[in-house]
Amino acid sequence: MTTTEDKYCSERIMMSNEDLDEYTKYMSGCSLNTIRQYRARINTLYTHFEKPITDIGIEEFVDFCKGKGRPLNMPLNPNTSSQYINALNKYWNMKKMIPQEFIDYRKDVLDGDIQKHTRKTNDALRAQLPSFESVLTNEEFHKKHKNVKEYLICYLCREFFTRNLDLDVKIVNERSEVNQDGNFLLIQKKPNRVEYIRNNYKTYSKYGTKTFTIKDKVIFKMVTDLHDSDDNYLFKYHPEEPPCDSNRKAWVNYESNCAKTIKRAMGGICEGLLLKIQVNNIKDKNELLLIEERRGTSLPYLLRSYNIDAPLTSDLHQSPFYKSDSE
């Protein structure tokens, strides 16, 4: 007899490849990391309940999140619950059969337990976080000592509020080399500039392609020098194929190495902590509009995730995505 613990430790896939492929295709606008994460969550639900996802009742799902039937009956933490809720929401939307009671439950959880947990966690971190000045000092160190890739990572993370795989970029000097699948640093001349183009990031399906022009002379020279030396990626190893069951381990390792490289470059802090430092140092709530535009994170998500002390000098509701409560 297969135990519940065995189910959670097993790597076997019980869902049909056709169903997973349909789900993956439906999420084509999401980042590769989100696709991998949601596939894993849906697969776990299938394995746990041993029946089609569409047959899972809302009460069963709530019990699952509370820990019933899981190893040691341990409830999911709020962040993990959120991942399961969003993965299931995406699946039911794909099947065009999302139950109203699930819609209500999702809203209650996102606006209640998860919001309280996130704010509590962020408030507890606030006093322990490095200062923003130390972030700038570390960045200046890499610039002074010509640590090119480390400086570019720090600059892009700070300036554009990026997530880890947003920095999975290829350096090119011809627009014809840019496609809709990847992220690029495009070298342009007359005038000298670099275009930072992002297609593969977490919230692409909502915000679409993001393109920003960097006119900084130091950045232009660093990026150009890398390209001229045939060093065209910020990260050393780059899997050529998208994440799927056959090369899932390669992508997991790649994402982990990207995160470690970024953390080393930024003096021991990850991109998530850098965002918290930046949010805690804003002088006006309207600066959140810049984070929304550059990172691709909605205002309601930022407002409910942080206790922001900064004043508000004009109406935040001008954001076209203000009504959306998801990241």
Q: How confident is the model at residue 227 (pLDDT cuts 50, 70, 90)?
A: very high
Q: Residues 301-325: pLDDT tens digits?
A: 888 777 777 777 777 666 555 555 5
Q: What is the pLDDT of residue 202?
A: 83
Of 260, 268, 295, 290, residue with least CA distance to 134: 268
Using DSSP's 3-state secondary structure scheme, residue 311 falls into coil
Q: Is the pLDDT of residue 203 over 50?
A: yes
Range with the lowest mean pLDDT among 2-11, 52-61, 120-129, 310-319? Answer: 2-11
pTM of the full structure: 0.71
Q: Residues 170-182: pLDDT tens digits?
A: 999 999 999 988 8
Name the more confident of 49 and 118. Answer: 49
Taking residues 114-139, report their average pLDDT: 80
Are 223 and 187 in contact by the 8 Å Cβ rule? The answer is yes
Q: What is the pLDDT of residue 2?
A: 40
CA distance 234 to 129: 26
- C-alpha of 205 from chain center: 12
Q: Is the pLDDT of residue 33 over 80?
A: no
Name the more confident of 70 and 276. Answer: 276
Are 204 and 296 in contact by the 8 Å Cβ rule? The answer is yes
Task: Write out the H or E segment, with its range, that includes residue 183.
Answer: strand 183-188
- Residues belonging to the chain: 327
Taking residues 33-47, report their average pLDDT: 86
